[in-house]
Structure 1
Amino acid sequence: MGRKAAHDIAVEIRTRLAHAAAMRMIFAAAPSQAEMIEALIAEPDIDWRRITAFHMDEYIGLPAGAPQRFAVWLRERLFDRVPFAAVHSILPEGDPHAAASRYAALLDAAPIDIVCLGIGVNGHIAFNDPPVADFADPQDVKIVELDEVCRQQQVDDDCFPDLAAVPEQAVTLTIPRLLRAERLFCVVPGAHKCVAVGNALHGPITTDCPASVLRRHPDCTLYLDAESDPDA
């Protein structure tokens, strides 16, 4: 699944760079993305020097070098391993609201070509959990309270030792900001995601399952394995 997704993403990157001087991508940071990222790095003939990278969410309250920080996770697995033109990290220290505004401005400087994302156990995309998800959100980047299902997922993914260690707030790109990207690649492995995937594919389009809104995007591809596929 990861290799197939990486191959398709690489084809899209090469196609876009054949017709444009540069492009911009947003990446999710999660164990579910690790196999795809590793395979993407191995893909040949990608001119990373013409790609600017962003990520889609970040915890508030963790030390700058904490391994659970999404910017750190992506730096170790991707950002420091290929020569991007630029990497813009969400830095919530000091005033998170000001950080969100700065990041929104960076994102708004030019169109986003590709988003590589996943789906959470509660159906979230980025950190748009059901209680805070808004399909008509007026903001591009905002501060959110993380719900307990989302925080428990971080423990179950072995990112934190227990629930108390998981931050309660984060900075996230909003759903309209993600959906304005031209091309979405959504990679969702694992049996623990099967219910959320089923709701996203076959349930109503509702913030009760934020990922259901992906069905409204004109060019989104979903990658599943046998365990996450509700129709397998």
Structure 2
Amino acid sequence: MEIIISKNKQELGKEAAKLGAQLIQKAIQEKGEANIIVATGASQFEMLAHLVNEKVDWHNVTTFHLDEYIGIQDTHPASFRKYLKERFAHIVPLKKFNYVNGEVDPLEECNRLGELIREATIDVAFIGIGENSHIAFNDPPADFETEEPYIVVRLDKDCRLQQLGEGWFPTLDDVPVQAISMSVNQIMKSEAIICSVPDGRKALAVKKTIESPVDPSVPSSILKEHKAIWLFIDNYSAALLS
């Protein structure tokens, strides 16, 4: 794991996007196309704002995304499909975007997406880490064993409080309790991972990610086992590191 500490989240987003774009373009040059994963949430705002302005042959890029709430329409302010359309997919001319649809039968949707991503080599995954150390919606204790690419998960209270705290929902009761999530093993199959984690509220999660043993109780700790991961943090999220 290579750790890059930036002054603030604006600088972090710029540096993470720059490296990610270079990796995407390298894959296109070598294979003629690239497959990527993009994440959502407040931690990805700055990175995505810079990524869409990078010089990438986007028409050769197919995209998957990590997760979506079950039962949320794509017009809902908290919808991750809405988020990604507005901040990424409707800005750059992608070859294809494989959205997670939380409005259909969840198991059928997991199977549909699983068949698609099994046929793809993911060249670059852009992800974040939650306040409870989750990656995607794999809350602790995360399933490190399943080989299913997408799974139905139950969101723990800390995860739901984060969504409330970021302003996506008016009350805790409005935050869904279930979601479709890319599994830990599927994320780890990516050729490269760009992990962007700004802000002081993520400081404990960053400390656990780096300093804790690899364990399902700290889902993000498994990232240390990946062969090509860059962890972008800022002075605020790095504040508790030894």
TM-score class, shorter: over 0.9
The 8 Å contact of residues 55 and 89 in structure 1, kept in 2 or not, is answered as yes
Aligned to 1:161: 170
Higher relative contact order (CA 8 A, sep 6+): 2
Q: Tell me the SS of whatever aligns to 2:30.
A: coil
Give the aligned partner of residue 58 of structure 2. Answer: 48
Residues 16, 194 of structure 2: 8 Å contact kept: yes
1:79 to 89, 96, 99: 89
> For this pair of structures, how many residues does the alignment match?
230
Counterpart in 2 of 1:24? 35
Distance apart, 1:91 and its partner CA: 1.1
Once the two structures are superposed, the pairs formed by residues 127-166 of structure 1 within 5 Å of their partners are 127-131=137-141, 133-166=142-175
Q: Which structure 1 segments of 5+ residues have no match?
A: none
Instruction: Look up the match of 2:132.
Output: 122
Measure the CA separation in 2 of the matches of 1:138 and 1:178.
Answer: 11
* Cα displacement (A) at 1:63: 2.2
Question: In structure 1, the residue corresponding to 2:52 is in which secondary structure?
Answer: helix
User: Normalising by structure 2, what TM-score?
Assistant: 0.93
TM-score (norm 1): 0.97
Q: Percent identity?
A: 36
Aligned alpha-carbon RMSD (Å): 1.0
Amino acid at match of 1:221: W
Tell me the residue number matched to 1:113: 123
1:161-202 Cα deviation digits (max 9, x unpaired): 111110000000100000001000000001110001100100
**Superposed structure 1 runs of 4+ greater than 2 Å apart:** none
d(CA) in 2 for partners of 1:98, 1:191: 38
Which amino acid is the alignment partner of residue 141 of structure 1? Y
| Higher mean displacement: 108-117 or 59-68 | 59-68
Secondary structure of 2:195's counterpart equals: strand
* Structure 2, unpaired ranges of 5+: 1-11
